[in-house]
Amino acid sequence: MDASPVVELRGVSRVYGRRATTVRALDNVDLAFPAASWTAVMGPSGSGKSTLLHCAAGLERVSAGSVAVAGADITGASDAELTRLRRTVVGFVFQSFNLIGSLSAEQNVAMPLRLAGRRPARREVREVLASVGLADRARHRPRELSGGQQQRVAIARAMVTRPAVLFADEPTGALDTASARMVLGLLREMVDAAGQSIVMVTHDPAAAASADRVVFLRDGRVVDRVEQPTARAVADRLARLEE
């Protein structure tokens, strides 16, 4: 496995508010996410999980420290540079799918290419849909798909630009057990077969157990890690953090 980090945070803090009303969501975080691997981020409610994901992906600016993605320091990047990063270097998958209801599955998948100024080839889009098992659903709109199928379309959309890293925020949170298992298996295959890098926020120990490692946050700080996690080990660590 390539141990060089695809995302690296050094001394990262994120503070909201001013003076007496400040909230320190992240507190001097040093964290590296290796390439070609899958890291889950967990912690109690309010521990800073989503803030960490947003800062690492360039969705939010840090208050202190630095963030590098795919070898490029994005800390002082302009809005235009961050927009370009989000369209080409990183991919996103959210709990709510965020598909455009009036577009077909293949049109949703093609959208990032169009936003990046590319004219997507139908074969390219169909190949990505086939890779998530939806070759026969290309012309279906989101309302004609199950939750699990919609999430797989969202994953295909995130992957069509071949991003350096895929950020996933509770990707199985809205799915039933069978659909969640299918989505997690798909993500696992992307790491093992395609060398994809994934950073995933989750509250579910079973989902975290699919990852290569789990990083635990509390009060905006990294407080624990588990390599080659099991659902039981993750649940036990999480329970201790919530005491």
CATH no. for residue 141? 3.40.50.300
User: What is the per-residue pLDDT for 4?
Assistant: 76
Q: Containing domain of residue 117, as a range?
A: 35-53+78-241
User: What is the per-residue pLDDT for 228?
Assistant: 95
pLDDT at 220 over 60: yes
User: What is the per-residue pLDDT for 210?
Assistant: 96
Token readout for 228 is 């080659």
Residue 46 lies in a domain: yes
Whether the Cβ atoms of residue 65 and residue 6 lie closer than 8 Å to each other: no
Residue 179 lies in a domain: yes
User: What is the per-residue pLDDT for 201?
Assistant: 96
The mean pLDDT value for 122-135 works out to 92
| Strand ranges of the sheet holding 198-201, from the earlier edge strand across to the other edge | 90-94, 165-169, 198-201, 38-42, 213-218, 221-227
User: What is the per-residue pLDDT for 1?
Assistant: 41
Residue 63 lies in a domain: no
Residue 73 lies in a domain: no
Q: How many domains does the chain have?
A: 1
Query: Residues 135-163: pLDDT tens digits?
Result: 999 999 999 999 999 999 999 999 998 89
User: What is the per-residue pLDDT for 119?
Assistant: 86
Residue 71 lies in a domain: no
* Model confidence, pTM: 0.92
Selection from 29, 38, 70 nearest residue 219 by Cα: 29
Residue 49 lies in a domain: yes
pLDDT at 116 over 50: yes
Residue 136 lies in a domain: yes
Residue 143: DSSP 8-state = G
User: What is the per-residue pLDDT for 19?
Assistant: 79
Token readout for 46 is 């309010």
Residue 89 lies in a domain: yes
Cα distance from N-terminal residue to C-terminal residue, the chain: 35
User: What is the per-residue pLDDT for 208?
Assistant: 97
CB atoms within 10 A of CB 41: 28
Selection from 38, 3, 7, 32 nearest residue 192 by Cα: 38
